[in-house]
Amino acid sequence: MNLRNLVAERLEAALEASLGEPASAIVQPASKREFGDYQANGVMGAAKRSRRNPRELAETVLKQADLLDVAEKTEIAGPGFINITLSEDFLAGLLNRSGALLTPTSKPETIVIDYSSPNLAKEMHVGHLRSTIIGDAMARVLTALGHRVIRQNHVGDWGTQFGMLITYLNETGSDSDLLADLESFYRQAKARFDADPEFAERSRQSVVSLQAGDPEIRTQWRRFIDISLSHCQNTYERLGVLLTPDDVQAESAYNDDLPQVVSDLEAQGLLRDSEGARCVFLDGSANEFKGKGGEPLPVIVQKSDGGYLYATTDLAAVRHRARVLKADRVIYLTDARQALHFRQIFAVAEKAGFSRPQMRLEHHPFGAMLGKDGKPFKTRAGSVVKLTELLDEAQARALDIVNAKSPELDETQRREIARVIGIGAVKYADLSKNRTSDYVFDWDQMLALEGNTAPYLLYAYTRIKSIFRRGEIDETKLDMPVSVADPAEHALAVQLLRFQETLEQVAEEGFPHFLCAFLFDLATQFMRFYEACPILSADSHSRGSRLQLCRHTADTLKAGLGLLGIETVERM
């Protein structure tokens, strides 16, 4: 039940009747409480286009609009805004309907989400956090709305790094089954690769052997992959991320398709040789695909030595997603530095017919994680921060606070609460910010546990649970109807009913921070309601209604946090 759309449809029907042609009502949540619940801004623009007086048009629209059953008050304000206050009966009626406040879409799509995608042979670090967490939230939201979601973890398992590592281990006799060791070998191999051209050449030969299927090298490689993937899986489970080994669709999975991609491009006459490499040149608009000095920028699909690149793999992936998975939409969660790469890939895919006609290919870029100094987030020693260390720190800090605030709970409980708060705080800190910009990672702010943070939301939830415990109430058996009387009840009711429109917006635009903002508003409205309206001590009618509002709020907080991949606790 999308409230906003409902209001918009009613107004647009009237608008069309008044104008003789359709026009958007541009309905938004009211910018101020005194304007009511929703405001419509579309009349002014429509009046201008049809050269009519905006206030008169607004009056005509309001006179014709069928709002009797939903609004208790409508008014025209300023140059032609229409302000709408929803009626108490309407709000109560919606909240009294059985079932959840969320209804699935009538147009389910098949949506591939390409996220997390770490390079293997290295431990996961903070650079992998945003893709993993945002992608996971998107997967959950789209699934909740009834879409068929295919998660794909496009791990990097096929690059030069494995050639270096294998060559280094074979030449030095080092070995280990521990990822931390492999990573340090890798670092040494990389140093040698950069310093010693002969070593570099032998490493490249190893890659060729690997890709040619040399059994011995293949076995070594397989073992590294297994070690890496099991580390990733541990991290996903700790983070509470949906990804499983079944979701791994590695770069190497497309290996056999790469020659076909190149020959398809060739057959369509899209390919050109340039400086020994096989390239697609895109026209693009203006300077979109121009490089240094205005030279056309190639998409290289095959290197002069015959090897393939990530562009080739990504094209093969588009083809696979279109033809085999029948995707209607593909969402890529990678950092913003790859924006040009994906613009190129999408353009080539379209030109070559690798994507389907109405298929939406979307790069959802995100910015870098910075330290408080505004530089890339690193440890004091200057190395990348490992994800496990980050989570350890978050839980330790959360535990200090739980110990201080809730000494009456036993240690097992305190540890469990600290785990949920710590992990939740890390995820929420990331999800609550507009993903496109760089964001500053600040321990103190993140775990300050006040303001727009996971702990604030969890606290609101535990307060509700506490009411049920205190009143010895089985919240699943509440049967009193909601009635909406107090202004705090009205505000809370409207907020609850905005869940649907919020999720639809997140799904469409790919910004989970809309959901965070919604939940923060919901928690804030609940806290105000909690302060303003006694619950357990109220008379029977109010008590029953308010308990229902509590139940709806708890359910929605839990569901919303769940869609962000954040757990809840019963007390804290």
Partner RNA sequence: GCGCCCGUAGCUCAACUGGAUAGAGCAUCGGCCUUCUAAGCCGACGGUUGAAGGUUCGAGUCCUUCCGGGCGUACCA
Q: Which of residues 162-181 bind RNA (CB under 7 A)?
A: none
Least CB distance to RNA at residue 414 (A): 9
| Site size toward RNA, by CB under 7 A | 107
402 membership: H or E segment, kind and range: helix 387-405
Of the candidates 340, 345, 289, the residue with the CA atom closest to the CA atom of residue 316: 345
| 359 lines the binding site for RNA (CB under 7 A) | no
- Range in contact with RNA (rule: CB under 7 A) among 103-111, 177-185, 387-395, 507-515: 507-515
**Closest separation between CB of residue 233 and RNA, Å?**
20
How far from 246 is each of 134, 250, 332, CA to CA, in Å?
Answer: 19, 11, 18
Nearer to RNA, 205 or 437 (CB): 437
For residue 281, the minimal CB distance to RNA (Å) is: 8
DSSP 8-state code for residue 148: E
**One-letter identity of residue 49:** R
Indicate the residue among 459 and 559 with the shorter CB distance to RNA.
Answer: 459
In the complex, minimum distance from the CB of residue 495 to RNA, in angstroms, rounded to a whole number? 12
443 lines the binding site for RNA (CB under 7 A): no
Task: Provide, rounded to whole angstroms, the least separation between the CB of residue 198 and RNA.
Answer: 17
CB nearer RNA, residue 336 or residue 356:
336
Only segment of 184-192, 309-317, 325-333, 379-387 that touches RNA (CB under 7 A): 309-317
Interacting stretch for RNA, rule CB under 7 A, among 144-152, 172-180, 387-395, 525-533?
525-533
Q: Which amino acid is at 454?
A: A
Give the shortest CB-564-to-RNA separation in angstroms. Answer: 15
Question: Is 524 one of the binding residues for RNA (CB under 7 A)?
Answer: yes
Binding to RNA in span 365-384, by CB under 7 A: 367-368, 374
CA neighbours closer than 13 Å in the CB half-sphere of residue 237: 8
Query: Site residues for RNA, window 62-101 (CB under 7 A)?
Result: 77-81, 83
Q: How far is CA 302 from CA 213, 310, 354, in A?
A: 19, 10, 17
Residues numbered 338-357 forming contacts with RNA, rule: CB under 7 A: 338-341
Q: Tell which residue, 239, 241, 144, has the closest CA to residue 556.
A: 144
Residues 232-291 that bind RNA (CB under 7 A): 251, 274-277, 279, 286-288, 290-291
Pick the stretch among 90-98, 103-111, 321-329, 512-520 that binds RNA (CB under 7 A): 512-520
Closest CB to RNA among residues 283, 531: 531
Give the residue with the Cβ less far from RNA, 328 or 504.
504
Among 184, 434, 481, 485, binds RNA (CB under 7 A): 434
Distance CA 278, CA 200 (A): 23
* Range 38-57, binding RNA (CB under 7 A): 39, 41-42, 44-45, 48
Nearest to 167 by CA among 199, 196, 122, 119: 199
Is there a contact between 37 and 487 (Cβ–Cβ < 8 Å)? no
Q: Please spell the DSSP secondary structure of 503-554, one letter per residue.
A: HHHHHHH--THHHHHHHHHHHHHHHHHHHHS--TTS-HHHHHHHHHHHHHHH
Nearer to RNA, 340 or 480 (CB): 340
List Cβ<8 Å contacts ≥24 apart for 291-294.
none
Decide: is 13 part of the binding site for RNA (CB under 7 A). no
The yes or no reply on residue 32 touching RNA (CB under 7 A) is: yes
Out of 353, 436, 481, 487, name the contact with RNA by CB under 7 A: 436
CB of 254 to RNA, least distance (A): 11
Per CB under 7 A, 310 contacts RNA? yes
DSSP secondary structure code for residue 376 in this structure: B
**Residue 478 binds RNA (CB under 7 A):** no
**Options 126-134, 336-344, 352-360, 559-567: segment touching RNA (CB under 7 A):** 336-344
**Complex with RNA: residue 355 or 542, whichever CB lies closer:** 542
Q: Is 469 helix (H, G, I), strand (E, B) or coil?
A: helix
Cα gap 166→171, rounded to integer Å: 9
Residue 382 tokens, joined: 């200057």
Long-range contact set of residues 254-261: C-beta below 8 Å, sequence gap at least 24: 254/313, 254/316, 254/317, 254/320, 255/158, 255/211, 257/316, 257/319, 257/320, 258/308, 258/312, 258/313, 258/316, 260/316, 261/301, 261/312, 261/315, 261/316, 261/319, 261/354
- Which one-letter amino acid corresponds to residue 46? A
